[in-house]
Amino acid sequence: MRWVIAFSVLMLLAAPLRAHPHIFVDAEITVVFDDNGQPKGVEIAWVYDEFFSMLLVSDMGLDPDFTGTVTEEEQEILHGFDMNWIEDYHGDTHVTQGGEPLALTGPVEWSSDYYDGQLRSRHLRHFLDLPDPTQEWIIAVYDPTYYTSYTLVGQPRIEGRSDCVARVFEPDWEAATETLEAALDELLGAGMDIEADFPAVGALFSDEVRLTCAAP
């Protein structure tokens, strides 16, 4: 994630250097089609782990009694807490077709909440590059730096069409872990700063949603 509240990040950076990831997020995906059956966008929901939620809510001065919820007034302060993206942040949602990336807009129509001790947010991103829905295309949610770990929960939803199939493929955890450990050993052997130069392995730990739709 490329939005920062200083206290929370400093607390997380105090963890052991090899202890990536630092933030854990459950993600849900909804693929949205327009009235003509063409891909319109992807709606992404994030539910943050309880520890990070506690740090961030505390840093924002919300829920001082640690009830695990916020008042209506605090809800207004919370609105859009994770939507202030810096320029080079691409939202950790990656769409590809035929090995080529498909561009998305920034977030629109977002909402935020906090209950049961966890921060939650939802946003929509429109397609700038339209996939061909009759050919397989892939949606994956991951942080390339693996600072944040995303886990896809539930079956991806499809809105606007009933003739599409979404299949979820889990990563090869053993192979991904071996690749990460080898990369970290190489960095340490070269005397490099692991946090500053952490390898871009996030994609290796990512679930993939592979979609196809019927031809017209």
pTM of the model as a whole: 0.86
pLDDT at 202: 92
Prior bond of 131 cis (ω within 30°): no
CB–CB of 55/179 below 8 Å?
no
**What separation in angstroms does the CA of 102 have from each of 26, 37, 44, 131, 143?**
23, 18, 16, 7, 17
pLDDT at 87: 82
pLDDT at 159: 97
**What separation in angstroms does the CA of 28 have from each of 11, 175, 216?**
27, 25, 28
Burial group, residue 41, by CB count within 10 angstroms (0-12, 13-18, 19+): buried
Could you tell me which CATH class the domain 6-213 is placed in?
mainly beta
Joined tokens for residue 43 = 């709606």
* Residue-level pLDDT, tens digit, the chain, 216 residues: 544 444 444 444 444 445 579 899 999 999 999 999 999 999 999 999 999 999 999 999 998 888 899 988 998 999 999 998 988 888 999 999 999 999 999 999 999 999 999 999 999 999 999 999 999 999 999 999 899 999 999 999 999 999 999 999 999 999 999 998 898 888 888 777 777 778 889 999 999 999 999 987
Coil, strand, or helix at residue 63?
coil
Q: Which residues pair with 89 in a beta bridge?
A: none
pLDDT at 185: 86
pLDDT at 11: 44
Token pair 């499809």 is found at 158
CB–CB of 41/1 below 8 Å?
no
Coil, strand, or helix at residue 67?
coil
What is the rounded (10 degree) CA torsion for 125, 213, 170, 151? 30
pLDDT at 200: 86
Q: Report d(CA 170, CA 92) in Å as an integer.
A: 17
Burial group, residue 65, by CB count within 10 angstroms (0-12, 13-18, 19+): exposed
Token pair 């810096």 is found at 86
